[in-house]
Structure 1
Amino acid sequence: MCGRFSLQCSVDQLPLPLLDVLPADHRRHYSPRALVSPSEPVLALVRDEGVQRAALLLWGLLPSWVKDPTQGPRPINARSETVPQKTSFRGAWRHRRCLIPATAFFEKRHCFRPSHGGVFWLAGLWERWLGADGSEVDTCTVLTTSPNALVEPWHPRMPVLIPEGLEQAWLAPVHGAELQALEALFSPWSPADWIHEGPAPRPGRSDVVQGSLF
């Protein structure tokens, strides 16, 4: 699974597909985060009603068909192998894929990051829950896959990553064979140019969370 990640970069270092659609007020309030945890807002790139935009999504997917948002599980991860069939995920898989920028992810407090120190994309799905009173809640989950040689000693799952340059392909409204073709991205990615570091600080310490996204 992927239960924590970080986004420790300046606003100007965010990937261009996201930076190009980041509203001015979001730029002003953006701040790097050393540790992003479930139930917190995460910055994401989504395609919403045909328009690509930046979004803040609560981490923990709330399916649109749930009647009571306070009841039931809020999965932070979804197994990529089964999302095309699972009731909770298949609608989002077909229509609401998203990209979540990160600079590192954590498995059992072990840190994994690119050796070049740059930003990468976590593959996600998102949903919009609409309440009877007109309220809206946008939520997301991170896709996972089987681990590569770097992660396997520490955890049986790892996040699906979307390579730079495939952002449009991942977000595009595709169906049938084109949608199935995206499943090739679920394969474990190469550990080359990645670094494993020791356990991360535990959540709750004052030196862990350094600012907020917005």
Structure 2
Amino acid sequence: MCGRFALSTPLKQLPSVLQHRMDREHQDRYAERDLIVPGEPLLAFRSDQSGPEASLMLWGLIPGWQKDPAKGPRPFNARAETVAEKPSFRGAWRHRRCLLPASCFFEKGRAIRRIDRHSFWLAGLWERWLGGDGSEVDTCTILTTTPNDLVRPLHQRMPVVIPEGLEEAWMAPVHGQQLRALEPLLAPWDPSGWEVVNKQSDGQLSLLSGLES
């Protein structure tokens, strides 16, 4: 499960591949965010017809075939194990994978982040809903997998994290064997280089002296 995360990274410290594809409006409107929750707009990196681009999306996926976006579920997570079969996700899994920059994600009042404080990529899927009046709504969901040793004491699920350098490979529309080649990226990631910190009442994050095992 990933229902809360943050992007408290300064603009100039975002991944360079994302910075280079943020237009002036995105750069001017960018603000560090200590908490992002489902239903809110978020910054995403995706590949559209014109190639890789920065985009703003709503967190909570609306399938393109859904008649009324106000009705029906809007899942903010999708299980990696079943994403290729479920009608709400399988089209996006084949053609519309995206990346969401994050500085940490939260479970049970604790934050999981990289020790070096660098941002990282959460794996996502996105859809574009088209209304009869010509309106468009871009939405996304975050892929989750089984937890590693760091996250397991906190939750039975954790977000899929895509390593830096594999951005275009992850987002490229592929089929068949090429699509199956992405499946190893959905496995639990190596927890070395990561830490769990406690979110205190004053909003500051402090390193836990030890995580229950």
Task: List gaps (5 residues or longer) in structure 1.
Answer: 209-214
Q: Structure 1 residue runs of 4+, over 6 Å off?
A: none
Q: Who is 2:209 aligned against?
A: none
Q: Who is 1:31 aligned against?
A: 31
Residues 118 and 92 (structure 1 numbering): CA distance in 2 closer, same or farther, change over 3 Å? same
Q: Identity percentage over the alignment? A: 57
Deviations 1:150-189 (A, max 9, x none): 0000100000000001001101121110111101101100
Q: Who is 2:79 aligned against?
A: 79
Q: Who is 1:105 aligned against?
A: 105
The residue correspondences of 1:1-214 to structure 2 (distance < 5 A) are 1-199=1-199
TM-score between the two structures when normalised by the length of structure 2: 0.93
Q: Tell me, in whole angstroms, the C-alpha distance in 1 between the residues paired with 2:169 and 2:109.
A: 32
Shift of 1:109: 2.2
AA in 2 matched with 1:58: L
AA in 1 matched with 2:195: I
Q: Tell me, in whole angstroms, the C-alpha distance in 1 between the residues paired with 2:50 and 2:56.
A: 18
TM-score between the two structures when normalised by the length of structure 1: 0.92
AA in 1 matched with 2:174: V
Q: Who is 1:211 aligned against?
A: none
Q: Tell me, in whole angstroms, the C-alpha distance in 1 between the residues paired with 2:191 and 2:28.
A: 35
- RCO higher in 1 or 2 (8 Å CA, sep ≥ 6)? 1
Task: List gaps (5 residues or longer) in structure 2.
Answer: 205-213
Measured on the aligned residues, the alpha-carbon RMSD in Å equals 1.4
Deviations 1:38-59 (A, max 9, x none): 1000100011114211100100
SS at match of 2:182: helix
AA in 2 matched with 1:98: C
